[in-house]
């Protein structure tokens, strides 16, 4: 853990890095250039045709290590688009075949593919190892810095993440790089900088999916700062730009939920999970159903979610964080703590720190919980749920003044935070 003095020094370093990153991004946008397609939008065309072409090539030239690496990367993308983790073992097989054919310094695409696969499976230390191996070979590949940023952010190594995203923006300014940079600034407490970077990305977006992606995250910034009108406008603009955008539909439903229109929100979420039944969306729908008093329907969604989680685990995905949050939301205190401890043993991001703090609080272990709540807020992220959790923990310890300050901070950040539906209020 950080001492108080080290935390102050870390905070100063983070602020300086954020300022430098903002300046770098402004320069990158002025240089112009065609933005990279966003890797996170769900509206991208599925690479099924690409996969078929790679497979055909490999039938004719089975020792083509480059095509094996490309096939592995395509399988990772297909898993994300379809929310089908069965593609992960296929990706692993293709990438390992590529490395078996050529494990030398000339096969960095397979190494970057292995890093992306490890990130997708939440094996972030493994992802960082593969990424660093690739960096020693091709230090100028922007895709490399994308996977390193993802890995180090999730591990809680924020200086390394800042360096990676800055280098990515230097090498390939575009939507994928800008949106990572925006998240970096947001998590370090610079909401204004995060918004400026997203707006710059929006101006450089040239495809409907990229435009929708930028609009969606502008909506997320607004939602978690309590500006529901702006959030709604951005989510709806995202859907206008790309009617197939599932995140845009989810964002609209979140605003409806926070405004208290649970019926409309549930209807919206049913459309979301029908199209993309990913665990996050299922958990949010279940939370809304419980808040609306529809416990039976919520239990049904939770059974679907449990089956999704079993399928993910069977295909190599490790996600005790989601399991801890769901257990906490549904009253299973012991499971919440067990899963949070397991996740903390693997990675130490501020999000995991908050989950562990809250699980400890639910189990009456507030002195220990406070230490992790301090970890969760160490970056200065204006995350209302973090401060509300820390306030409740302080209240349980009898620190009334500290609890009042933290609860007031949470209200200042987001006056619409609704603790009856915590899954909707989480900024991720």
Judge whether 218 lies within some domain. no
Looking at the structure, tell me whether residues 97 and 198 fall in a common domain.
Answer: yes
Looking at the structure, tell me whether residues 284 and 137 fall in a common domain.
Answer: no
40: three-class secondary structure by DSSP? coil
Looking at the structure, tell me whether residues 39 and 147 fall in a common domain.
Answer: yes
Looking at the structure, tell me whether residues 414 and 372 fall in a common domain.
Answer: yes
pLDDT, tens only, 357-399: 999 999 999 999 999 999 999 999 999 999 999 999 999 999 9
Residues in the chain: 428
Looking at the structure, tell me whether residues 344 and 406 fall in a common domain.
Answer: yes
Looking at the structure, tell me whether residues 45 and 81 fall in a common domain.
Answer: yes
Looking at the structure, tell me whether residues 335 and 414 fall in a common domain.
Answer: yes
Judge whether 139 lies within some domain. yes
Range of the domain at 288: 261-306
pLDDT, tens only, 106-149: 899 999 999 999 999 999 999 999 999 999 999 999 999 999 99
Q: How far is CA 391 from the centre of its chain?
A: 25
pLDDT band at 11 (very low <50, low <70, confident <90, very high): very low
Looking at the structure, tell me whether residues 337 and 294 fall in a common domain.
Answer: no
Residue 234 contacts residue 253 (beta carbons within 8 Å)? no
Looking at the structure, tell me whether residues 276 and 162 fall in a common domain.
Answer: no
Q: What CATH number did the domain enclosing 88 receive? A: 1.25.40.10
Looking at the structure, tell me whether residues 167 and 118 fall in a common domain.
Answer: yes
Looking at the structure, tell me whether residues 190 and 49 fall in a common domain.
Answer: yes
Residue 85 contacts residue 97 (beta carbons within 8 Å)? no
Average pLDDT in the chain? 89
pLDDT, tens only, 206-231: 899 999 999 999 999 999 999 999 99
pLDDT, tens only, 265-299: 999 999 999 999 999 999 999 999 999 999 999 99
Q: What's the CA gap between 147 and 118, in Å, rounded?
A: 9
318: three-class secondary structure by DSSP? coil
Judge whether 215 lies within some domain. no
The count of structural domains within the chain is 3
Looking at the structure, tell me whether residues 146 and 293 fall in a common domain.
Answer: no
pLDDT, tens only, 169-182: 999 999 999 999 99
Q: What's the CA gap between 358 and 98, in Å, rounded?
A: 44
């Amino acid at each position: 853990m950080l001492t108080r003095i080290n935390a102050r020094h870390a905070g100063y370093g983070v602020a300086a890095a954020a300022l430098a990153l903002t300046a770098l991004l402004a320069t990158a946008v002025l240089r112009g250039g065609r933005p990279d397609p966003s890797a996170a939008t769900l509206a991208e065309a599925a690479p099924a045709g690409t996969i078929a072409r790679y497979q055909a090539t490999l039938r004719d030239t089975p020792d083509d290590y480059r095509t094996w690496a490309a096939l592995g990367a395509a399988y990772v993308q297909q898993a994300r688009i379809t929310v089908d983790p069965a593609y992960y073992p296929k990706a692993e097989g293709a990438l390992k075949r590529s490395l078996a054919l050529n494990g030398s310094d000339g096969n960095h695409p397979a190494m970057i593919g292995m890093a992306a696969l490890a990130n997708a499976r939440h094996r972030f230390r493994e992802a960082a190892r593969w990424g660093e191996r690739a960096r020693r070979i091709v230090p100028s590949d922007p895709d490399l810095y994308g996977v390193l940023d993802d890995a180090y952010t999730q591990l809680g190594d924020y200086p390394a993440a800042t360096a990676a995203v800055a280098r990515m923006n230097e090498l390939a300014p575009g939507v994928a790089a800008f949106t990572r940079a925006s998240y970096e600034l947001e998590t370090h407490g610079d909401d204004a900088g995060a918004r400026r970077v997203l707006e710059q990305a929006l101006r450089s977006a040239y495809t409907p999916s990229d435009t929708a992606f930028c609009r969606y995250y502008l909506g997320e910034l607004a939602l978690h700062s309590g500006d529901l009108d702006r959030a709604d406008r951005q989510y709806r603009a995202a859907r206008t730009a790309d009617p197939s955008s599932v995140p845009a539909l989810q964002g609209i439903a979140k605003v409806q939920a926070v405004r208290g229109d649970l019926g409309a929100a549930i209807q919206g979420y049913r459309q979301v999970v029908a199209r993309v039944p990913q665990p996050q969306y299922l958990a949010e729908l279940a939370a809304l159903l419980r808040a609306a008093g529809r416990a039976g329907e919520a239990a049904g969604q939770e059974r679907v979610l449990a089956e999704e989680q079993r399928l993910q685990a069977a295909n190599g995905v490790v996600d005790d964080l989601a399991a801890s949050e769901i257990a906490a939301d549904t009253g299973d205190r012991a499971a919440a703590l067990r899963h949070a401890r397991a996740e903390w043993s693997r990675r130490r991001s501020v999000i995991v720190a908050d989950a562990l703090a809250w699980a400890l609080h639910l189990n009456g272990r507030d002195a220990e919980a406070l230490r992790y709540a301090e970890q969760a807020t160490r970056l200065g992220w204006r995350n209302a749920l973090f401060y509300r959790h820390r306030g409740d923990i302080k209240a349980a310890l009898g620190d009334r003044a500290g609890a009042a300050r933290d609860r007031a901070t949470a209200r200042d950040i987001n006056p619409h935070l609704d603790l009856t539906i915590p899954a909707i209020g989480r900024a991720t």
